């Protein structure tokens, strides 16, 4: 909570809104065995690999 208050103060001091308007999110594909059911797996289009 203290971290949030300090971040808000710094952002307001720089003329920005309290909360950021965008985030960066990174994900990871876990490869599955050939015996895994197809209902629980998918395709990662960025890496062109099957996984969970």
Instruction: Report which secondary-structure segment, H or E, holds 50.
Output: strand 49-51
**pLDDT at residue 18 in the model:** 85
Its pTM stands at: 0.39
Measured over the CA atoms of residue 34, residue 30, residue 52 and residue 40, the dihedral's sign is: positive
Could you report the per-residue pLDDT of 1-52, keeping only the tens digit for each? Answer: 899 899 899 999 999 988 888 888 777 777 777 787 777 777 777 777 777 6
Buried b (16+ CB within 10 A) or exposed e, 28-37: eeeebeeeee
CA angle, residues 23, 12, 24, in degrees to nearest 5: 5
- What are the residue ranges spanned by the domains of the chain? 28-52
Q: Which pLDDT value is given to residue 31?
A: 72
């Amino acid at each position: 909570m203290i971290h949030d208050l300090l971040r808000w103060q710094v952002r307001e001091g720089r003329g920005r809104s309290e909360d950021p308007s965008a985030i960066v999110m990174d994900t990871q594909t876990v490869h599955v065995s050939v015996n895994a059911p197809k209902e629980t797996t998918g395709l990662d289009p960025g890496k062109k690999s099957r996984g969970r």
